[in-house]
Structure 1
């Protein structure tokens, strides 16, 4: 499961206190971890939003998603089985969508200036996605540490969800097993909390707070309307599997050892609109703190580096990556045909 506040930029000294004193101009500091985003840009969000007022959109969607889930629960007795199953399918899609757009962007650039508002939002994301947000953030940051790396001499990867972790001979695992086994391979919540606690005890406490609140809420829903939870359970699994499907094609054909090519991008416009520029995945791994509203400018910057390695690209949305012929030619542990996505 994935940041750190930035520093305030330095201000220029516009004058000298004594005649003859040299004018000193201090270079503005770069925000910690945010390349290409000036202090002025940081303040563009005003008093409410940390980076930009555009974050009002994902912030509103967090609570719209939660509200839709509450409405679905309340309306359940009046719905036909066809409507219930349609709603459950939408519930599954919403999990994959949220985790790879809203929740993901919140990890890298929390929306609000207020710590309390960010904390409340983390609880909302926990309840609607069924995953403690702080644990999700921790695993996601380990993903960035390894960039879907290949196993070392001991057979281990830094990235716990690397597509190579359960592959063979330096090749990625086949898509179907990665997608449908990923959920079951994840470390349990107490193991993730233990890993977090080793370096950040306060963060581990926050992670467990989210976990226990989630358990309490869903236990109450189970007691009130058990069939609602029973029907949604397999769709919850499908939603998590959708997130693994997206992750697979975000990295199949990438090069974990080449900074510009550790992810695979898609510039499909509707996907990037709905998933808040998640398609710019090579760019995102190149500069993880780049704000979601500025991914196109980062792409232009990278394209200007003419002597650098090419950015791996597919045509369709990541969750439809299996439709791109380039992915068919990429070798996996189950097929030995040599080729790569470029």
Structure 2
């Protein structure tokens, strides 16, 4: 099944509103965090950082304006401190380009391990195989693993990596100056109240959106009935629709999913969850899938940007 959407050169006002809400509330929250209960700061800070991750995803796919530079400017401030925007863009577009979704060495967003993975990688994967482990231990393990991989890529001088990190560190210095110098908000507190819960919320979205299967089309899931988290994830919970219509904005995805639901679920083998409540019930204490990818021997590795 081939489903495509023609690129549309228009300005998406709803996404601009989301961007204004994110950055405006982030500024206000960081200014006032010292006077607020820490749990409230963590709840609001986590939401804002996960929401900005969803906004960054929109900008990578060409929204909310027809102008790439403006979209990049809206998405590039690294509020999470650890993920350079240009590296996210390169890795995510490689994820969409590969025909071997979920396979390590092909898909840079794969959660599975290769058979030759080391003991630390295997331990980390087992600890985060359940949803509880992913939410509690996933943020430091995910971020730490990413930083190690990026350090290796920078040392190997892979194209674009050092430049992306140089720009990223300038942004991080500016954000740190705002947090410490203007707001009097310590970086340790920021990591605990913003970065950690934000990463956990993002990992909830990604936990069940892909699953290994012999048929590539059956590797992309859908989570329906998610009015609150659907807003947080800008409808990326309708993940099969996003992969089928990668140029569609988050505002268009629900309509596209509704119109093509039968075809999308036929193509993905019915890999659908009736809400995040089902994801919690099924996987809070049970592994989502095997740790080692079951089809690794069937394909040859690709280079990933």
TM-score (normalised: structure 2): 0.71
Root mean square deviation, CA, Å:
3.9
Matched ranges for 1:72-91 at <5 A: 72-77=29-34, 79-80=35-36, 82=37, 84-91=38-45
Q: Call closer, same or farther: CA 1:160–1:136 in 2, change over 3 Å.
A: same
8 Å Cα contact 1:276-1:292 kept in structure 2: yes
Larger Rg: 1
Which residue does 2:147 correspond to in 1? 187
Mapped pair 1:111 → 2:60: no
Q: Call closer, same or farther: CA 1:273–1:223 in 2, change over 3 Å.
A: closer
Which residue does 2:204 correspond to in 1? 245
Which residue does 1:211 correspond to in 2? 169
8 Å Cα contact 1:149-1:157 kept in structure 2: no
Which residue does 1:311 correspond to in 2? 270
Which residue does 1:23 correspond to in 2? none
Mapped to 1, the partners of 2:80 and 2:243 lie a distance apart of 26
Report the alpha carbon displacement of residue 265 of structure 1 after superposing the two structures with TM.
0.4
CA shift digits 1:75-125 (9 cap, x unpaired): 245x24x2x4312321012222331x322122112322234422321334x
Q: Call closer, same or farther: CA 1:309–1:268 in 2, change over 3 Å.
A: closer
Which residue does 1:137 correspond to in 2? 89
Q: What secondary structure is seen at the aligned counterpart in 1 of 2:59? A: helix
Residue from 34, 41, 49 that aligns with 1:95: 49
8 Å Cα contact 1:250-1:265 kept in structure 2: yes
Mapped to 2, the partners of 1:224 and 1:104 lie a distance apart of 29
Mapped pair 1:174 → 2:129: yes
Q: Call closer, same or farther: CA 1:262–1:72 in 2, change over 3 Å.
A: same
Which structure exhibits the higher relative contact order, with contacts defined as CA atoms closer than 8 Å and separated by 6 or more residues? 2
Report the alpha carbon displacement of residue 321 of structure 1 after superposing the two structures with TM.
1.7
Which residue does 2:295 correspond to in 1? none
Which residue does 1:60 correspond to in 2? 17
Q: Call closer, same or farther: CA 1:221–1:331 in 2, change over 3 Å.
A: closer
Report the alpha carbon displacement of residue 185 of structure 1 after superposing the two structures with TM.
1.0
Mapped to 1, the partners of 2:23 and 2:108 lie a distance apart of 28
8 Å Cα contact 2:223-2:274 kept in structure 1: yes
Residue from 177, 180, 192 that aligns with 1:234: 192
Q: Call closer, same or farther: CA 1:256–1:111 in 2, change over 3 Å.
A: farther
4+ aligned runs moved over 6 Å, structure 1: none
Mapped to 2, the partners of 1:210 and 1:329 lie a distance apart of 35
Report the alpha carbon displacement of residue 238 of structure 1 after superposing the two structures with TM.
2.7
Residue from 73, 80, 86 that aligns with 1:120: 73
Q: What secondary structure is seen at the aligned counterpart in 1 of 2:259? A: helix
Gap regions ≥5 residues in structure 2: 114-120, 293-305
Mapped pair 1:265 → 2:215: no
8 Å Cα contact 1:148-1:162 kept in structure 2: yes
8 Å Cα contact 1:107-1:137 kept in structure 2: yes
CA shift digits 1:254-288 (9 cap, x unpaired): 34543432221011141334432212112223443
Report the alpha carbon displacement of residue 209 of structure 1 after superposing the two structures with TM.
1.6
Q: Call closer, same or farther: CA 1:330–1:115 in 2, change over 3 Å.
A: closer
Mapped to 2, the partners of 1:105 and 1:242 lie a distance apart of 17
Q: Call closer, same or farther: CA 1:130–1:190 in 2, change over 3 Å.
A: closer
Gap regions ≥5 residues in structure 1: 1-32, 50-54, 151-155, 335-342
8 Å Cα contact 2:221-2:240 kept in structure 1: yes
Residue from 17, 21, 36 that aligns with 2:5: 36
8 Å Cα contact 1:72-1:87 kept in structure 2: yes
Q: What secondary structure is seen at the aligned counterpart in 2 of 1:209? A: helix
Q: What secondary structure is seen at the aligned counterpart in 2 of 1:292? A: coil
